Amino acid sequence: MSDFAARWSGALLDTYPAPPVELVSGAGATVTDADGNTYIDMLAGIAVNALGHGHPAVVEAVSSQISTLGHVSNLFGSRPVVELAEALRARVGDETARVFFSNSGAEANEAAFKLARLTGRRRILAAERGFHGRTMGALALTGQPDKQAAFEPLPAGVEYYPYGDVEALRELVLEDPDDTAAIILEPIQGETGVIPAPEGFLPAVRELCDANGILLIADEVQTGVGRTGDFFAFQHDGILPDVITMAKGLGGGLPIGATIARGAAAGLFSPGSHGTTFGGNPVACAAAGAVLGTIDGEFLAEVRRKGRLLMDEASHLPGVASVRGRGLMVGVVLDAPVAKLVVKHGLERGIIVNAPADDVIRLTPPLVISDDEIRAAVARLSEAIADAKEGS
């Protein structure tokens, strides 16, 4: 164990393993460790650094804001907060939309959970193997018993349906439609292995919700902010949820979450019913404003193009069974359960990737990654897969 890893283990709670390297700087899609080694960052802090490391728009926005006003609490207002809320409302495309700012995706989903409770109905339907966070309410929505068991009892009222199976979901709704408050889903299940919803599933869920007065909550924490080539992943399916949760890429590296409610859902909260001290922090909101100001239609078209390039390049690698995903949210399915070894060997080859499943490598690079970096990353990934299969 390195000295840094030992210091880490001695000072931090054991929620994560000691890190294999100490990163000290980054530029675009490249990061550098304390020993001067460089890596192509194909994870972007798990889809957080949407504009890469050190993007000038984010640096300028944060530097300017922190030098003038850093924090005001939720007792006062500041311009970056309202400007960001207005920009998000415009991205949703519904003038009834209103925003609550928090600090993470889990908090954004906690707010959505509370909105569902305020309908007066008790049931919330969540997808099996979905992931919505690790706080208690968000964990209750997360359909992964292995993550839940140690923390039970969890908040009651959540039931689970097979992701992508609209008939099973319809049967579950019809068991008690008048007491079903919300259906929550991810357009692409990221933490399970980058699994997109089947074609037609989201429109069918929207129709089911409309027919029964149920809120449709779209968890866009990982898929939002241009990650899939549309600003929101649900836009690919031509639907509009009642509640949208966001975080990760929104702040361009700074912690910020957002819960957006529209229509009747926008009127469920009242003063004092929810809050958070750091939510709507001016510096984080300024960073998010810079991100939104950069991600325009041309930018999104480039994400779609680069996503096609990445998926095509990865699909031809030896040891790869299939490639799935959308835009720059890609799951590389291996033909053997060696994904964790690929992550290890990837670091040795100068590439940062992630293994959400034993046979899946997740690629969520900065959206600003270049074509040359994509090709170089895929070449290094190929070497890491070969190394892993030799050592498995």
- Is position 226 annotated in a ligand binding site? no
- Contacts of residues 174-177 at CB distance under 8 Å and 24 or more positions apart, as own/partner, are 176/123, 177/212, 177/214
**What is the spatial distance between Cα 220 and Cα 212, in angstroms, rounded to a whole number?**
23
Confidence of residue 392 (pLDDT cuts 50, 70, 90): low
**Active-site choice (41, 219, 230, 242):** 219
The number of beta carbons lying within 10 Å of the beta carbon of residue 178 is 8
Q: Are 209 and 242 in contact (CB under 8 A)?
A: yes
Say if residue 173 carries a ligand binding annotation.
no
The secondary element (H helix, E strand) that includes residue 170 is helix 166-174
Q: How far apart are the first and last CA of the chain?
A: 22
Of 231, 232, 248, 269, the catalytic one is: 248
Q: Is 230 a catalytic residue?
A: no
Superfamily of domain 3-54+297-391: Aspartate Aminotransferase, domain 1 (3.90.1150.10)
Q: Can you tell me the distance from the alpha carbon of 392 to that of 390, in angstroms, rounded to the nearest whole number? A: 6
Q: Which CATH number fits domain 57-294: 3.40.640.10, 3.90.76.10, 3.60.20.40, 3.90.226.30?
A: 3.40.640.10
Q: Residue 370: count other Cβ atoms within 10 Å of its Cβ.
A: 12
Q: How far apart are CA 70 and CA 33, in angstroms?
A: 29
How much is the pTM? Answer: 0.96
Alpha carbons within 13 angstroms on the beta-carbon side of residue 354 total 20
- Asked if residue 98 lies in contact with residue 81, where contact means CB atoms within 8 angstroms, the answer is no
Query: What confidence tens digit (pLDDT) does each residue in 12-30 have?
Result: 999 988 999 999 999 999 9
Q: Which of 100, 101, 113, 131 is catalytic?
A: 131
pLDDT computed for residue 295 by the predictor: 98
Residues forming a β-bridge with 85: none
Find out whether 186 is annotated in a ligand binding site.
no
- 113 counts as catalytic: no
Is 220 annotated for ligand binding? yes
Residues spanned by CATH 3.90.1150.10 within the chain?
Answer: 3-54+297-391
Every domain of the chain with CATH number 3.40.640.10 lies at 57-294
- 219 as an active site residue: the answer is yes
| Number of alpha carbons in the 13 Å side-chain half-sphere of residue 353 | 33
pLDDT, mean of residues 241-269: 98
Confidence grade of residue 391 (pLDDT, cut at 50, 70, 90) = confident
Q: Has 378 been labeled as part of a binding site? A: no
